[in-house]
Structure 1
Amino acid sequence: MAVTSTSNSLATSLVLLHSPFQSHLHLHLHLQRRRTNPFIPIRTRANPISSLTQQDVRKEDIVVVGAGIAGLATALCLHRGYEFLGVLLLLTRLGVSSAVLEQGESLRTSGTSLTLFKNGWRVLDEMGVGDKLRSQFVEIQGMVIKAEDGKELRSFKFKDESEGQEVRAVERSVLLETLANELPSDAISFSSKLANIERTGTGETLLELGDGTQLLAKIVIGCDGIRSPIAKWMGFSEPQYVGHCAFRGLGFYPDGQPFEPKVNYVYGRGLRAGYVPVSPTKVYWFICFNSPSPGPKITDASMLKKQACELVRSWPSELLDIIDKTPDDTIIRTPLVDRWLWPITSPSAASGGVVLVGDAWHPMTPNLGQGACCALEDAVILAGKLAGSLQTAGLPESIYSALKSYETERWGRVFPLTIRANVVGSLLQWENPIICAVRNNVIVPKVVRLGPLLEHTNYICEPLG
């Protein structure tokens, strides 16, 4: 559906979570500590470390790399899952530590907003934060599609098309803060960066931070975004550019925004745009345009606003008004990318005790509004698999089996959605004037049915407890 926000920055946070088993590590090789440039890329070694002195490492059982939506959701799902299993008190008695390390000085709250459908809200309810977010954001009742001259082509009501549908645009910063606030109060430590990752001879994974701190974990969960160093270390290729880019921003109306609670789309030739109310004072907008290459990165916010306005100068005036009321620091321009997880040829998302979640594994274009929703689904399913294996045995074999089970279950869900989102976006970016005329006068007004296009939002995850 609507283009949603995706961070392009390197996610290098570490979230250290509760686990119902303790590490038993007997390692002897000394690894010299050093001061490291905090911006160097992750290094890997061909041969695994066989031993370390215990004074040189901090031993943790579960490490989640990345404190974005996927990472914080996974952390919270694990935390909630343990509570449901009634083992939180046991963890405290065992003395298992919990900490969250983030590269920046605060949460990575850059970006605008993202669209959550009913499958995403089910997971947020399962984590206990759904109502806290609902109270802050407008529920979107329907969708209106217009041509670039302002002519209305079609309108839909979500609940008429999809039973029980719930659609809201949510500010990314608010979502992150809400998830983080549900974790233990002492869980987050900022200003950390992952510099190196490697396996040890005993099967654990060694993570080294930019300041020389070393962490040894039995389970590493990579939630470090579309440019994931963990995914690269596991053999995944870089996400592929799909041929179009997006401008995005949040218009601000201090005296109240004037729009009905609807998603508004405008279709042009090789160009489309949209806007949707987020809250009583904010409106999210996007412009998606064809480009043969991602182009240079532009950091001048005033230039970004100027370029966005030029693309839709002759389009409905309310779009230009929203852009004009957008603070410069909320406007972003990003190339759209995805990664197709072909069977057999794609690397495994679970290898030993390392597993990928969210954009780190399956970045997809935002044309179905499912990037964040799928990351939330990943989180609750992985937490359920891990909690079950740790409660029963906690042996490496049972943990590896749980991670593989997660991969198998989620692959069948995310790969088809990735392809579908790509195809929908490509069709909506048509440039041929004849095809665009057929789209506007036949396909959209007379053929398109919204219900089947929302069928994927009926997905239901197993509850945490």
Structure 2
Amino acid sequence: MGGTAVVVGGGIGGLAAAIGLRRIGWEVTVVERAATLGDAGAGISLAANGLRALDELGVGKAVRDASRGQYSGGTRTPEGGWLARMDGAVLERAVGTPIMGIPRSTLHRLLRESLPAEALLIGSAAAVGQAGPGTVRVDCGDTVLDADLVVAADGIGSKVRELLFPAHPGPVHSGSTVLRAITEQPVGLRTDFELTWGRGAEFGHIAFHDGRAEWHAVLSLPAGTRFPDPLAELRRRFRTWHDPIPALLDATRPGDVLHHDVNELRTPLPSFAVGRIALLGDAAHAMTPNLGQGACQALEDAVSLAAALSAESTVEAALTRYDAERRPRSQEVARAARQAGRMGQQLSHPLAVALRNTAMRLTPSRAAMRMILRHHAWVPPRLN
């Protein structure tokens, strides 16, 4: 089965969906309201499931070549003590690859370069409506597109999701806010990846292959909290935390710090598909970042959608299959991510933090590996 598709949203999930659809013979237009595509943001970790999806889309090698494997690191206390060590070599033996760290803008560029320029309609807002039996119309201002399929990959604030499910409460604040940046220059790091958990705060870093690093700071704060000088505020809050946290902050330009509230779709959607419209990525299952699975789940969505369309004889049957395959898994991962946040950075009572830390130190490495494999050991369907 082939046809014409419009992907609303030019982020990682939307571009991946377009690549997958083109690989099975569909004509695809990606509509993105931003005037420029995806060269902003900090860093991203890609687990085995996301990398396997990229392999199936034909861009896995390029992404690996631009990434750095996370072989060393783990979770620490603010004083520097280890709660859990990470052994990327063990994970690689279990699933075939370590977790890989890459700048988000680099990943976005590699996906974008896998599509022809004429498939991208940039700087256009999309309004979705019914054109006739078996056709969805997307109004992009001066351009009107009629399609056999619309893929809504328009993010956590998805307008298409609001259209399909007007009674759904939409995204809610998780109780946390995140500040993050990529260092201006290389930083001497002894590990590839670290998380440090304090009381109501987390600081982490991802090392890149060029020596620079992404860092993030997650704070338990009300929605809308902002600071006149974010970098100065972080230096104040984390001034007593272990190295290399101060060095990472010192290697960052103030204007490079991004600050966003952490929101999620806490109320699960009843379906990821209505008629000939499919929801994908954050539009379908926006989750907290505590498991590092947001982008990976969007990549899984993209491959699964293309595979379903390749296997089924009608769009409706394919979307029914896509919903049945993707909704249970992605919503389970979202629940697990929420729980990880509650047991990690969001803990603030000293006794609760002490109990959590003790439990982490006593957890056998094999048990920790089993929890990781629940999410990483996903095998994509083949795109023929």
TM-score by length of 1: 0.76
State the Cα distance separating 1:243 from its structure 2 match: 1.0
Equivalent position of 1:179 in the other structure? 111
Match of 2:118, SS state, is coil
Structure 1 portions without partners, runs of 5+: 1-18, 22-60, 83-90, 393-397
Q: Is contact 2:43–2:103 with CA below 8 Å preserved after alignment?
A: yes
TM-score (norm 2): 0.92
Matched, 1:354 2:277: yes
Q: Matches of residues 197-236 of structure 1 in structure 2 within 5 Å? A: 197-209=128-140, 211-235=141-165, 236=168
Determine if contact 1:275/1:286 at 8 Å carries over to the other structure: yes
Indicate conservation of the 8 Å contact 2:75/2:85, yes or no: yes
C-alpha contact (below 8 Å) 1:121/1:166 kept by paired residues:
no
Distance 1:296 1:438 in 2: 29
Q: Deviations over 1:130-179 (max 9, x none)?
A: 12122222111033222112223332313325613421111111111111
Residue equivalent to 2:224: 295
CA apart distance, 1:286: 1.0
Q: In angstroms, what is the RMSD of aligned CA positions?
A: 2.0
How many angstroms does 1:217 deviate by?
2.0
Change (3 A) 1:243 1:341: closer
**Distance of aligned partners of 1:140 and 1:458 in 2 relative to their CA distance in 1, 3 Å threshold:** same
Q: Is the 8 A contact 2:172 2:264 kept in 1?
A: yes
SS at match of 1:281: coil
- Give yes or no for the alignment of 1:407 onto 2:323: yes
SS of equivalent to 1:123: helix
Question: Which protein shows a greater Rg?
Answer: 1
Please report how far the alpha carbon of residue 310 of structure 1 lies from its aligned counterpart in structure 2 after TM superposition: 2.1
Q: Distance in 2 between matches of 1:353 and 1:161?
A: 39
Cα offset, 1:297, TM superposition: 5.6
Distance (whole Å) between structure 2 residues aligned to residue 131 and residue 64 of structure 1: 24
Q: CA deviation at 1:212?
A: 4.1
- Whether 1:259 and 2:189 are equivalent positions in the alignment is yes
Residues 43-442 of structure 1 aligned to structure 2 (within 5 Å): 61-82=4-25, 99-160=29-90, 163=94, 164-194=96-126, 196-209=127-140, 211-235=141-165, 236-253=168-185, 256-291=186-221, 293-296=222-225, 303-340=229-266, 342=268, 346-389=269-312, 392=313, 398-428=314-344, 429-440=346-357, 442=358
Distance 1:197-1:80 versus aligned 2 partners, 3 A rule: closer
Deviations 1:386-411, CA, capped at 9 Å, x for gaps: 1233xx4xxxxx21111011011101
Does structure 2 conserve the Cα–Cα contact (< 8 Å) formed by 1:242 and 1:336?
Answer: yes
Unaligned runs of 5+ in 2: none
Paired residues of 1:234 and 1:347 also in contact (CA < 8 A): no
Deviations 1:172-228 (A, max 9, x none): 11111111111124322322122x32224534222222x343222221110001111
The 1-side partners of 2:91 and 2:306 are apart by 32
Structure 1 counterpart of 2:252, one-letter code: T
- SS of the equivalent of 1:454 reads helix
Deviation at 1:101, TM superposition (A): 3.7
Change (3 A) 1:451 1:73: same
Report percent identity of matched pairs.
28
